[in-house]
Amino acid sequence: MTKNEQKKIFESWLDQYRGLVFKVVRAYALSHTDQNDLFQEITIQLWNSIPTFRQESSVSTWIYRISLNTAIKWVRKEQKHSRAESIENVEFIWEDGGTKVDERLAWLYEEIHRLDEIDRSLILLLLDGFSYKEMAGILGITESNVGVKINRVKKYLITKSKK
Amino acid sequence: MEFNEMKKIWDSQNNEPLYAINEEALHNRILSKKKTGYHITNTSELLLIIVNAAAGLFVLSVNFSKPGMNIYMYLLAAWMLFSALYMLVSRIRRIKGSQQFDRSMLGDLSHAISMATYQVQLSQVGRWNMLPIGVLCLLGLWDSGKPAWSMVVIAIFFAFAARGTVWEHGIYKKRKQELEILQKKLKAEG
């Protein structure tokens, strides 16, 4: 694959699926600086993954897979290293358009952020309509295990919403 | 709130205008990260191979060029060259082994754990390697009649280096344990 072909695929992925990447970024990183950092990490991993994409799964499943794996590693790294880089030195890769934030959506993201890294992945996949079978494939665990975990997380979120 | 309602809230963001990406900045960042993004394992193992091979060859060439035979220095050179060869073989095995993991989250974690295990082993080898190298070095100095203070300086240097390898080993071990906890969490039923 030539660099040009890789670049074309990368741009089309980013164009079509950036919403998906943003969801993962918002679920795993809180501040704008962190979100930019994670967004960069994910896009770098996506770029690197293009030559290994064999079309055995859909592009969205592949992008979710890469994004979640990167986010989980990023969280681990961030827990150890506090950012030395000041906000002034960061070149922001993306900016929000200043759209009004839906309070209920903000609450949902906040609660998702409170979950551990693995439960966060599961709930993102569930909310985006992935089947248990697809989730099991993305996470590499059994469907029954996915079911048990999902039920627990669902119960947690429903209880939280009632408080 | 029921889960279906949460799903509706979640789906509502699909209709929001998407954030603008600064494509030029992103491209620059990808290029710069690709240049500096050498994996720590890759760098440290390459460094160990080069340092051991170069030091072994250097000791060997100095021994050849000097009159008289210092058996300890020959042993030291042989040990270092053997260490470099051992690390090279381990590196080839590691690279071959890294292609066996799938791209699922569990596969990715298993890969990260296998890399961490390799780092732990590599740092352990480096740690124990200090002992024969240090002893052979001191014996070589003693055999060639060097003053006692030079042997003390070398012994202190090796003691510091050994302390450094213990510290490095601890970091890798902790990283491996963290990954194993995450893997257990993922596999746990519930």
Tens digit of each residue's pLDDT (9 = 90 or more) over B65-113: 877 777 888 898 999 999 999 989 988 888 887 777 777 888 888 888 8
- Count the residues in chain A: 163
* Residue A19 pLDDT greater than 60, yes or no: yes
Q: What confidence score (pLDDT) does residue B171 get?
A: 85
**Best residue of B18, B105, B175, B180 to probe chain A, by most A CBs closer than 10 Å:** B105
| pLDDT at residue B32, as a whole number | 62
State the Rg of chain B over Cα.
Answer: 25
Tell whether A4 is within 8 A of chain B (Cβ): no
CB contact under 8 A, B1 and A162: yes
Q: Which residue has the higher pLDDT, B117 or B15?
A: B117
Partner-chain contact A44 B30, CB within 8 Å? yes
Q: Residue B54: what pLDDT?
A: 94
- Cα pseudo-dihedral A62, A64, A70, A75, rounded to 10: -170
Tokens encoding B132? 């024969």
pLDDT above 90 for B57: yes
- Best B14, B113, B186, B187 residue to mutate vs chain A (most A CBs within 10 Å): B186
Contact B91, B83 (CB under 8 A): no
Q: Does residue B36 surpass a pLDDT of 60?
A: no
Q: b vs e for B160-186, b when ≥16 Cβ sit within 10 Å of the residue's Cβ?
A: eebeebeebbeebbebbebbeebbeeb
As separate numbers, helices (DSSP H) first and strands (DSSP E) second, chain B gives 6, 1
- In the prediction, which pLDDT does A93 show? 59
Cβ of residue A77 closer than 8 Å to a chain B Cβ: no
Test B104 with A65 for CB contact under 8 angstroms: yes
- Mean pLDDT in residue range A131-138: 90
* Mean pLDDT (whole number) for B130-159: 88
State yes or no: pLDDT of A67 exceeds 90.
yes
Q: How far is CA B140 from the centre of its chain?
A: 29
Query: In angstroms, rounded to a whole number, what is the distance separating the alpha carbons of residues B45 and B118?
Result: 10
Burial class (CB in 10 A: 0-12, 13-18, 19+), B10: buried
Q: How far is A31 from chain B (nearest CA, A)?
A: 16
Q: Do residue B19 and residue A138 have CB atoms under 8 angstroms apart?
A: no
Between A20-34, B31-45, B147-161, the lowest mean confidence (pLDDT) is in B31-45
Residue A118: count of CB within 10 angstroms of its CB: 22
State which residue of chain B sits closest to A134, comparing Cα positions.
B104
Whether the predicted pLDDT of A106 surpasses 90:
no
- Tracing tokens 């880089």 back to the chain, one arrives at A85
Residues of B in contact with A111 (CB under 8 A): none
Torsion from C-alpha of A146, A147, A151, A154, nearest 10 degrees:
60
**A65–B103 C-beta distance less than 8 A:** yes
Q: Does the CB of A75 have a partner CB in chain B at under 8 Å?
A: no
Q: How far is CA B95 from CA A115, B41, B119, B121, B189, in A?
A: 35, 11, 13, 15, 32
